[in-house]
């Protein structure tokens, strides 16, 4: 199975499993840099960061990790909603580029929708794109109404992606967000794909036992099985945290795993979709 797929409407082939950097600054810098570089060696060339992460510290770590290897990377960062006026977005992007030690981002996202008008943020994105400082733009934590608002302003092909919370115990985006993105050709990028609690992988639980059994059959790990389930939608990607080289190696091995329809059905039953929420979950 290919390790890459088109990123929304872009022609670029992007690694389906990437590397997230939220809280990477809380780990020894040498370990974070080593993990990111190991990921690049294994083809996890989609690296995600944000100005919010460690108040710029994560971007500096990424910059050190990709030094000399920038052309290998599909590099994504995010602007805070409080900075997302037209001029504020431009200034934030330029600061991000300095911290990353690069002249461009492959994709720049609005981290979540705030009080500032979307038309200002989108205007700044288009200006930055014309300057070559960003090659594409998207959003994060946007529900359907927010996505509709973006499309109404920017037109077809926008946003390029929507980065959202998605794991086996939080499948809310399957109700409406994923269908919207599939119709519009927008990539879906799953953050925190292993959830925030180890209970998902507890083999003593009903769901964990299913993951363990499928993993054993494939000589894989339960985490690899979980990642493959999330990637079953066309146009979907995942960015598990990359702060430990061993975890990065485990994540990369998921690209070699293929789950049968019967196995996907077993996982689906073990981790039920649940009712549609009133608002999109995010962390």
Confidence of residue 140 (pLDDT cuts 50, 70, 90): very high
Tens-place pLDDT, residues 30-52: 999 999 999 999 999 999 999 99
Question: How many residues are listed for the chain in this entry?
Answer: 283
- 23 DSSP 8-state letter: T
Dist. CA 93–CA 256, nearest whole Å: 36
State percent of the chain over pLDDT 70.
99
- Taking Cα atoms as reference points, which of 154, 152, 144, 139 lies closest to residue 180? 144
Buried residues in 33-53 as b, exposed as e (16+ CB within 10 A): bbbbbbbbebebbbbbbbbbb
At residue 280, does pLDDT exceed 60? Answer: yes
Tens-place pLDDT, residues 242-251: 878 999 999 9
Contact 35, 42 (CB under 8 A): no
Q: Strand 187-191 vs strand 161-165: parallel, antiparallel, or unpaired? A: parallel
Say what the pLDDT of residue 1 is: 52
Tens-place pLDDT, residues 77-127: 999 999 999 999 999 999 999 999 999 999 999 999 999 999 999 999 999
Alpha carbon distances (Å) from 32 to 37, 60, 63, 198, 256: 9, 11, 11, 21, 24
Q: Which residues pair with 238 in a beta bridge?
A: 17, 190
Tens-place pLDDT, residues 156-203: 999 999 999 999 999 999 999 999 999 999 999 999 999 987 789 998
DSSP string, 219-252: T--HHHHHHHHHTTSTTEEE--B---HHHHHHHH
pTM to 2 decimal places:
0.96
- 170 DSSP 8-state letter: B
- Taking Cα atoms as reference points, which of 61, 136, 127 lies closest to residue 106? 136
Tens-place pLDDT, residues 203-246: 899 999 999 999 999 999 999 999 999 999 999 999 999 878 99
Q: Strand 107-110 vs strand 137-140: parallel, antiparallel, or unpaired? A: parallel
Q: What are the residue numbers of the active site?
A: 53
Contact 144, 177 (CB under 8 A): yes
Rg (CA), the chain: 18
Q: Residue 264 class from Cβ within 10 Å (0-12 exposed, 13-18 middle, 19+ buried)?
A: middle
Per-domain residue ranges for the chain? 4-270
Q: Domain 4-270 has what CATH class?
A: alpha beta
Tokens of 105: 């981002």
Q: Strand 19-20 vs strand 13-15: parallel, antiparallel, or unpaired? A: unpaired
């Amino acid at each position: 199975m290919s390790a890459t797929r088109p990123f929304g409407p872009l022609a670029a082939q992007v690694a389906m499993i990437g590397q997230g950097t939220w809280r990477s600054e809380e780990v020894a810098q040498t370990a974070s840099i080593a993990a990111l570089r190991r990921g690049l060696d294994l083809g996890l060339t989609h690296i995600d960061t944000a100005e919010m992460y460690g108040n710029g510290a994560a971007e500096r770590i990424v910059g050190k990790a990709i030094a000399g290897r920038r052309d290998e990377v599909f590099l994504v960062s995010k602007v805070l909603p409080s900075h997302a006026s037209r001029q504020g977005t431009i200034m934030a992007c330029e600061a991000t580029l300095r911290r990353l030690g690069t002249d461009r981002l492959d994709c720049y996202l609005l981290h979540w929708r705030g009080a500032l008008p979307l038309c200002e943020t989108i205007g700044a994105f288009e200006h930055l794109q014309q300057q070559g400082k960003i090659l594409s733009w998207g959003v994060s934590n946007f529900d359907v109404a927010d996505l509709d608002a973006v499309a109404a302003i920017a037109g077809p092909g926008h946003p390029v992606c929507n980065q959202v919370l998605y794991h086996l115990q939080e499948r809310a985006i399957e109700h409406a967000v994923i269908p919207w993105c599939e119709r519009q050709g927008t990539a879906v990028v799953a953050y925190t794909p292993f959830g925030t609690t180890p209970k998902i992988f507890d083999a003593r639980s009903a769901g964990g036992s299913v993951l363990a059994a499928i993993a054993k059959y494939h000589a894989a790990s339960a985490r690899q099985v979980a990642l493959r389930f999330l990637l079953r939608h066309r146009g979907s990607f995942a960015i598990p945290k990359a702060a430990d080289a061993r975890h990065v190696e485990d994540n990369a091995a998921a690209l070699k795993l293929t789950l049968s329809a019967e196995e996907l059905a077993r996982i689906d039953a073990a981790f039920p979709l649940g009712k549609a929420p009133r608002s999109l979950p995010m962390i």
